[in-house]
Structure 1
Amino acid sequence: MELPDYIKNRSWKDYLADGITTELDVPENMSLIDVYKYNDENFPDHVMLDFFGKEFTTKELDVLTRRFAAALKDLGLKKGEILALWLPNCPQFSITYFAAVYLGATLTAISPLFTGRELAYQINDSGAKYLIMIDRFVREYEKVADKVSLSKIIILNVMDEEIVVPETDKIIHYDKLLDRYQEPLEFNAEIDSKKDIAIIQYTGGTTGLPKGALLSHYNIVSMLWAIKQGSDYMIENYLKENIIALSVLPWYHIYGQACELLAGCLFGSKAYVLPTFDLQRIAEVIREGRPNMILGVPTMFVNILNSPHMKDVDMSCLKFANCGAGALPDELALEWERRTGFRMAEGYGLSETSTGAITATVWSKLKRGSVGHPFPNTLVGIVNENLEFLPLGEEGEVVISGPQVMVGYHNRPEENKLVFFEVGGYKWLRTGDYGRLDNEYYLFLLDRIKDLIKYKGHSVYPREIEELLYEHPAIQECAVIGVPDPMKGEDIKAFIILKKESKGKVTEQDIIDFAKENLAAYKYPREVQFVRSLPKSGVGKILRRTLREKEKKKRTKK
């Protein structure tokens, strides 16, 4: 099978925004160590992070990072070993992250919203032997301490306050550890950029529990170089000043990690770092710091626009905003433009593509509903169920090829067979998303093929919730779906068949409370409906699709 001419000829090149090309030279031997050193060599005295008014220059962060790298080295962390970060956005996230990078370790970042149960799953699935977390999470960790096998645990307080958790042979205090290592490490690991894994980024698939996407140094550097091309153009021709970012995206997620933490090393930019999505603090930073850039997801922007804290705040400093991790509603885009005076950019990507694949820049031709054109070195096509490429205008599954596409899923050989295929000498990734390309090669996303639920920009996996619900003694059968919600993108609803002996004794709220206790705040069902039966296929498979269609019709009538 051959590729269509529009892919062979990169036909979208004639429609690309200024400053974006189809091809881009990426240094093949460059690693994240080099990305970090680029920052130190080019912007040593620049203020990189502002955390509640405390400023950190690049040089200060570099010294702290290499001191902590010396400590990790003496603790036994070696190249290729896996270190887990369970932290909110804070300077210590940057310090510990890049210290591990210096040693050639592989990182896996864990959501600060996770419960102990979810923490244990990611640690065990990734094979992490080292964990760095904040003191506030110790109680959750203790619930599953006997279910994980960790060599060392390092505990910190983001405000550098005293840690009350006692040290043991396994548990070490970050501040005391750093005090013992005053000399910055002058060593860095030798990295094979295309083979060595930098990050195991947990994501979801069409089935099953979250999976770890293996992202090599080359995957991520390729993505960063593409981001840099567009950002260099933006700084010179659009912002006409350097980037001052309001950093609200969580860094545990690849969107925030790549576009804020890592990309920030390439521009000498400044970031106001927030550990949580605090609307009062966001208003203060916009009012006093006058940032010119913010990256987020639809729900974040909706909440910023509707917050009483923002009522009298002049938002005209926010010249650049990018929306990702969920469809950008037209009304949200228009309201943002009314409040700031500037268009909102949109992008599309996955954890499996090191965050990005498609971009609709603010200086390109506006097509509402489109996520734009491919990044440099990236190919995008539409295929049918037989993986045959379709002509422009036809609807099918979106597939992506490029140097930023993951190596594969961690310890999931069968999943890798399903998600990858080769055509025309290229390795293609099946996204599970349904879309079409118009006659100017703009990509329009139509729907998700996956059952993935998008709640406030978070990816939520129905089966993970269902597996927990099946642990409840009153539940006989269940199905979880996403239902449309104008504020959240989708809300989470569970349909449940109770066991006969539990009917009339267990309430919907009992089920919600059970899930809430065992799942992160963005995962538990907000709605529960008891039903007598669930729609099923001929072989007995529960049909979530049928439930979604019924719910959509019911809500449309309202």
Structure 2
Amino acid sequence: MTATSTRQPVGTPRHLSAPQTSLYTNLEVSSNRHPEKAAIHYYGSSVSYRQLRHQVDAMAGFLQQHCGIARGDRVVLYMQNSPQFVIAFYAVLRADAVVVPVNPMNRTSELQHILEDSGARVAFVGEERMEHVRPLLGRQVDYVVPARYPDYLRERTDLPLPEVLTSSGPHHAESVGDHTLIAWNDALSRECIPRDHESGPEDLAVIPYTSGTTGRPKGCIHTHRSVMHSTVSCAEWPNLANESVMLCSVPLFHVTGMQNCMNMPIFIGATMAIMTRWDAKCAAHVIERHRVSTWITVPTMLIDLLNQAGVDRFDLSSIAYLSGGGAAMPQAVAQQIEARWGIPYVEGYGLTETMAATHINPPKHSKQQCMGVPVFNTDSLVVDPETLEPLGEGETGEILVSGPQVFDGYWKSPEATREAFVVIDGKRYLRTGDLGYVDRDGYFFIVDRLKRMINASGYKVWPAEVEAMLFEHPSVQEACVIATQDPRRGESVKAVIVLRKGEHATEEEIVSWARERMASYKTPRVIQFAASLPRTASGKIQWRLLQEEETGSRSVRPEGRRLD
């Protein structure tokens, strides 16, 4: 029996015709339609669509004329959220080149790997990251354009600013041998005119790198066609209007932010309210001041906002659509959202390999802690991870996806590409590596990552399920569940817990509370309190890092108490 999503909620269309053009064309169209409209709000300053396109074109001309960028060349973006990120992204596309977005938290060796692997010789870099680029000048990279984020603070503001916008950094315009640093404003001031735009749907557009959980990060090959389909889906699924104002708080280098907070609003001609760094208090100010209507974000940011002291003093009533993914939204928080805004938190699911969403909950038929149903033109299966046989309704297996947003493969990694795909009934599916099931209504649910399973005396424990239940404890702000070795049971459940500010709880209290709410084999036997949990730049909890620490360092580091 095949577990396909043939059953769709009422009113949810299955098919979508995306424009057969390059992604840059979306900016061209929106700037022609809304030239004086604010494309970007940035801590009290604004950039209109006319200004955005003018600077994009000038920077594209600079790339071509000064840096020698040609069609298909790769260009690195190593910056935090800022107007410069948006301008650089679209300038690379306008120059018929390929964007290689890099996590700004990466350091020299990580950046070096991506530069070498992608072959990029030009990079846009936030000035605060220059220390990690300097060792690579003249070796891995020929031209660097450093960007000072405060340059786009054209108006005075009373908004709380992140430190990166208040500290005065050096102005980089010096040369290093034959390899030159050209300051952002100097590059723009040359007013270079780019050649005619040639890219089409089949040309490469973006090569984002995976997090590298199984070795060195790998580049995901995305064409204008795959990025465009995801971009249009993000707008059409919730039917967002071009008068929308979108809070851009998740990182733009990550596909969730890239698609939902940059490419999608530019496609519909909406306004982006960009935050360089996450700050709950600042977000509340921005939502109130700009009447933010749409916020695609990760659960942790919403949790931060709802827990912000004095949040009730802000008028946040303009929020009309909340969505996101990366982790399941705890039911207790989802209920808070419904009570405050009268709307659901619409959960979705996607991967770097799929340029964001493959599944989203229908806004009017949303289910909690659910990845949703396949989006336009997308098919999904649940199969046995070993035999690849399709499973039936309610049976847990690996989730597969097939659709226009799925990447072409891994850059320079044919073997990894072959392993990532499987053909079933003549259709090519991506193996997501996520375990889940599909219910009778065609909705997909994640149980956990493949191999992220705890085997306690033969009983299978899915950490995400235990985390969701722990989240309901009144003193628990966050929890990450991992396996700990147990001489009797093989493995037991361990919970690393962050307590709410001002709250107190003991290991015994947490375990006692948990025992009343979940099966004994699911109850955490070890509790470790922490000030915070490690996260990726996109806000996901790095459970694998905690698991590796638990597995490899138990003899040399303080442990939580075992409570049997």
TM-score > 0.5, shorter chain as reference:
yes
Where structure 2 has 5 or more consecutive residues not aligned to the other structure, the ranges are 152-167, 454-462, 468-479, 483-492, 501-533
Whole-Å separation in 1 of the counterparts to 2:229 and 2:348: 17
Tell me which residue corresponds to 1:264: 265
**Contact 2:16–2:377 (8 Å) recurs in 1:** yes
- In structure 2, the residue corresponding to 1:114 is in which secondary structure? coil
1:220 aligns with 2:227: yes
1:176 aligns with 2:186: yes
Cα gap change, 1:483 to 1:130, in 2 (>3 Å)? farther
**Contact 1:113–1:521 (8 Å) recurs in 2:** no
- In structure 1, the residue corresponding to 2:328 is in which secondary structure? coil
**Contact 1:299–1:487 (8 Å) recurs in 2:** no
- Computed over aligned residues only, the root mean square deviation of the Cα atoms, in angstroms, reads 3.3
Whole-Å separation in 1 of the counterparts to 2:561 and 2:345: 29
- In structure 2, the residue corresponding to 1:392 is in which secondary structure? coil
Where structure 1 has 5 or more consecutive residues not aligned to the other structure, the ranges are 236-240, 463-480, 489-514, 535-550
- Normalising by the residue count of structure 1, what TM-score does the alignment of the two structures yield? 0.77
Deviations 1:25-79 (A, max 9, x none): 234x321122222222322222110111111111111111111111111120111
- In structure 1, the residue corresponding to 2:371 is in which secondary structure? strand
**Contact 2:99–2:207 (8 Å) recurs in 1:** yes
Match 1:36 to one of 20, 27, 35: 27
1:54 aligns with 2:61: no
- In structure 1, the residue corresponding to 2:360 is in which secondary structure? strand
Whole-Å separation in 1 of the counterparts to 2:102 and 2:425: 37
- Normalising by the residue count of structure 2, what TM-score does the alignment of the two structures yield? 0.76
1:101 aligns with 2:109: no
1:111 aligns with 2:103: yes
Counterparts of 1:267-286 in structure 2, within 5 Å, are: 267-286=268-287
Whole-Å separation in 1 of the counterparts to 2:231 and 2:413: 26
Whole-Å separation in 2 of the counterparts to 1:400 and 1:290: 36
Tell me which residue corresponds to 2:114: 122
Whole-Å separation in 1 of the counterparts to 2:494 and 2:422: 29
**Contact 2:328–2:370 (8 Å) recurs in 1:** no
Tell me which residue corresponds to 2:57: 66
Whole-Å separation in 2 of the counterparts to 1:46 and 1:187: 26
Cα gap change, 1:487 to 1:388, in 2 (>3 Å)? farther
Whole-Å separation in 2 of the counterparts to 1:531 and 1:178: 50
**Contact 2:95–2:195 (8 Å) recurs in 1:** no
Cα gap change, 1:25 to 1:521, in 2 (>3 Å)? closer
- In structure 2, the residue corresponding to 1:12 is in which secondary structure? coil
Deviation, structure 1 residue 363:
1.2
Tell me which residue corresponds to 2:322: 321
Whole-Å separation in 2 of the counterparts to 1:146 and 1:132: 13
Amino acid at match of 1:368: Q
Cα gap change, 1:377 to 1:279, in 2 (>3 Å)? same
Deviation, structure 1 residue 227:
2.1
Greater CA drift, 268-277 or 445-454: 445-454
1:89 aligns with 2:81: yes
Tell me which residue corresponds to 2:306: 305
- In structure 2, the residue corresponding to 1:211 is in which secondary structure? coil
Counterparts of 1:319-468 in structure 2, within 5 Å, are: 319-364=320-365, 366-384=366-384, 385-449=386-450
Deviation, structure 1 residue 175:
0.8
Deviations 1:405-458 (A, max 9, x none): 000011111111211011223210000000000111110111111569999xxx
Deviations 1:95-126 (A, max 9, x none): 11111101111111111222222222222222
**Contact 1:156–1:163 (8 Å) recurs in 2:** no
- In structure 1, the residue corresponding to 2:209 is in which secondary structure? strand
**Contact 1:124–1:148 (8 Å) recurs in 2:** no
Match 1:185 to one of 172, 194, 197: 194
Whole-Å separation in 2 of the counterparts to 1:335 and 1:71: 49
Deviation, structure 1 residue 367:
2.8
Cα gap change, 1:482 to 1:131, in 2 (>3 Å)? farther
Tell me which residue corresponds to 1:11: 6
Deviation, structure 1 residue 371:
1.8
**Contact 1:157–1:163 (8 Å) recurs in 2:** no
Amino acid at match of 1:397: E
Deviation, structure 1 residue 170:
1.8
Cα gap change, 1:555 to 1:21, in 2 (>3 Å)? farther
Amino acid at match of 2:24: I
Amino acid at match of 2:205: A
Counterparts of 1:469-508 in structure 2, within 5 Å, are: 485=497
**Contact 1:123–1:148 (8 Å) recurs in 2:** no
Q: As a proportion of its length, which structure holds more helix?
A: 1
Cα gap change, 1:533 to 1:526, in 2 (>3 Å)? closer
- In structure 2, the residue corresponding to 1:387 is in which secondary structure? coil
